[in-house]
Amino acid sequence: MDDKHAPLSDGHIEALLRSLGPDDLELLEPAEEVWEGIESTVRASEGHHGNVVALEAPRRRLRPVLLGVAAALILLAVALSVTLTRDDPEVVLAAASLAYDAETFDALGAQARARAELVADGDRRSIQIVDASLPSPEAGADLEVWLIRPDDKGGVADLVSLGVVEPAAPSTLDVPADYDPALFFVVDISVEPRDGDAGHSGRSILRGPLQGI
C-alpha cells in the first residue's frame, strides 16, 4: 500500500494534534464549493428520500451562530473578571498595643499581651486580636472585647461590646455599623462573669488606643 494512503496510527494522530497551534483551531465557514457539492448530492438523492430541507438557511446561519457563541464567552469572561476583582482586599486602618495597668486593672492581666487591628473589608469594619497571649478566666466567666469612647479626662464616656474571644484563639469581631471607630477608638479586653449583666464588669485586663485612624 502507498505510504501516503496508509491509515494513520494513534501515535501519528497524537503527534499531529500536538503540532496544532491556535490559528489551526480557528472555526472557519466552509467554502462555497463545499456547500454546492453537498447540495448537488442531496438533490440527486431526492427521489429516494422525498422532501429535502434546503441547506441555504443553515449555511447563512453558521457564522452568526459562531459569533453569538464567541460573544457569550466574552461576556462570561468579563462577568467573571468583574466578580473576582470587585471585592476590596482587607486593609488595616489602625492598630493598638494593648497594655496592662497594674493600679486599676484585674490581676489576671498581669502576664497578658495582645495587639488589636482595625480592619476594613469594603464597608465592613472589624477588630482583629493578634499577637496575643491571653489568660483563661475563672469558670463561669469570659474574655470580652470592647470599644470605648473616652471623655475629655480619659475616662469612659461610652462603650460598646464587640463580643467574646477565646483566650487560645482570639477571633475577628465586627464593629457595629453605627459606631464610628474614630470616636470609639480605645480597645479594651475585660473579664466578664456570665451573670446576665450586659454591662462592663470593671475588670479590664488590657487596654490601648487605636493609632493611625
Radius of gyration of the chain (CA): 36
74 or 110, which is more confident? 110
> Which architecture, in CATH terms, is 91-209?
Sandwich (2.60)
Domain boundaries, the chain: 10-87, 91-209
Q: Give the DSSP per-residue string, 23-66.
A: GGG---PPPHHHHHHHHHHHHHTHHHH-----SHHHHHHHHHHH
pLDDT in tens, 115-145: 999 999 999 999 999 999 999 999 999 999 9
Q: What angle do CA 136, 116, 168 make, to 5 degrees?
A: 25
* Higher per-residue confidence, 88 vs 137: 137
Confidence of residue 1 (pLDDT cuts 50, 70, 90): low
Helix and strand counts by DSSP (H, E) for the chain: 4, 8
How much is the pLDDT for 69?
Answer: 44
Output the nine-digit C-alpha cell for 129: 486580636
**Looking at this protein, which amino acid is placed at residue 76?**
L
- Say if CB 191 and CB 108 are below 8 A apart: yes
pLDDT at 171: 86
* pLDDT on residue 131: 95
